[in-house]
Amino acid sequence: MASPVMHARGPRKPARYFSVLPRSPAFWFLIPAIAALAIIGIYPLLLALYNSFHQYKLADLASGTPFVGVDNYIATLTDPTFWEALGRTALFLCVTLPIEVALGLFAALLLHRTELPWMRAAARVSLVIPMATTYAVVGLIGRLIFNRQFGVANYLTGLIGIPPQDWLADPTLAFVSVMIMDIWQWTPFCALILLAGLSMVPKEAEEAARLETPKWSMILWHLQRPYLLPGLTAILILRSADMLKMFDAVFTMTRGGPGAATEFISVYIQRVGFRLFDQGMASAQAIILLILTIVLSRLYIRFVYREAA
C-alpha cells in the first residue's frame, strides 16, 4: 500500500530522504526503532570515533585526555601485535572455513537423499544442538575435552596410536583445538544453508540426472552447483564477519593464549581496552575493525541480498 502523498510529489520534487515522511504513517511506525538504534548503535560509535583521536588511558586519567590527532591510528597500524592478531584471524578463517564448508556439504548431501527418513530426521535435529550452544560454554567444553590429564581428546587420539598431547599449552595445538570447537559449532550452519540450496533443485531435473549417471559428484557439479552458490556466498561473508567478532569461546577456552597463539582481533582489542585500559587506542582499533565490517556487510548486501530479494 503506497502512500498517495509520496507518489503525487515524488517525481516532480526531488525530495530529500524522509522529507515527506512525517505526513506518512510509516514515519511514526519507524521512528521509535530508528531512534533506539541511533542512540544505542550510532552515538557510541561517534564517541568511539572521538575517543580514537584522544589519549584516553583509564589507568592514567590524571594526565587528562588530550587531543592526539591520528596518533592512535598510527600506533595501531604500526603495532605488530595488531597485525599479528588480524593475520591470525585471517589464517583461522582460511583454514576453518573450507573445512566447515566441505563437511557441511557432506552432511547436506547425506540429509538430501530420500532414503532412511528417520535417521535423516534425527541427524537434522542433532545439527541444532551445536548452533544453540552458548559460545562461552563451547569454550568451556573445549577446555574439558582437550584437558591434558583426563581430556577425552587424548583418549580418542590414543585409540589410533597418537600419544597424549598438552593441547591447550602448545601454541599450534591450542589453535587447532579452538578450530575444532569452531568447526563443531558452525559446520551445522553451513550444512543447513547448503541443504536449503539443494532442496531448490527441481525434483524432475534431479531424478532425470540420477537416471543418467550414478555418480553423485557429476550431479553435484553439473546440476546442483548453481543452486548452492548463493548460499556459499552468504556463508563466506557471514562467517568472515563472525570471525572478526569471535571472542566468547576463545576467551573461555584459552584467553588468547598460550602466549598470543589464539589472540584473535576481538580478543586483542578487548585486552587493550579492558586489561591495558587504553581506551583511546582500543577505540582506534575498534573503528578500523568497524570499517572492515562495513566493507563485509556491503559485500553481503551486494552479492547475497540483491540476488535473494
Partner 1 sequence: MQGTQRAKRARAARKRATVWHFLGLVVVFMSSVFPFYWMVTTSLKSQADALAYPPKWLFSPTFHHYSAALFEHDVASSLLNSLIIASSTTVLAILLGTPAAYALARYEFRGKEDLWFWFISNRMVSPVVLAVPFFLIATKLDLVDTHIVLILLYLTFSLPIVVWICTDQFRNIPVELDEAARLDGASPWRVFWRINLPLAMPGIVVSAIFAFIFSWNDLLYALVLTRSDAITSPVAATSYMSGYELPWGEIMATGTLIVLPMVVFALAVSGRLVQGLTMGAVK
Site for partner 1 in 229-248 (CB under 8 A): 230-231, 234, 238, 241, 244-245, 247-248
Give the total of residues touching partner 1 (CB under 8 A).
111
> If 0-12 CB within 10 Å is exposed, 13-18 middle and 19+ buried, where does residue 1 land?
exposed
User: What is the per-residue DSSP string for 4-18?
Assistant: HHHHHHTTTS-PPTT
Q: Is 178 in the site for partner 1 (CB under 8 A)?
A: no
The Cα 309–Cα 302 span in angstroms is: 11
Closest CA to 288 of 57, 133, 72: 72
- Phi then psi dihedrals of residue 84, to 5 deg: -65, -45
Segment interacting with partner 1 (CB under 8 A) among 92-100, 154-162, 203-211, 217-225:
154-162
In terms of CB distance, is 70 or 308 closer to partner 1? 308
Segment interacting with partner 1 (CB under 8 A) among 73-81, 205-213, 217-225, 282-290:
282-290
Residues 70-109 contacting partner 1, CB under 8 A: 106-107
In terms of CB distance, is 110 or 176 closer to partner 1? 110
The Cα 271–Cα 277 span in angstroms is: 8
Among 77, 128, 162, 208, binds partner 1 (CB under 8 A): 128
Segment interacting with partner 1 (CB under 8 A) among 79-87, 91-99, 130-138, 205-213:
130-138
The Cα 165–Cα 148 span in angstroms is: 6
Omega of the bond leading into 14 within 30 degrees of 0 (cis):
no
Q: Is 32 in the site for partner 1 (CB under 8 A)?
A: yes
Residues 193-232 contacting partner 1, CB under 8 A: 193, 196-197, 214, 230-231
CB 64 to partner 1: min, Å:
15
Q: How many residues does the chain have?
A: 309
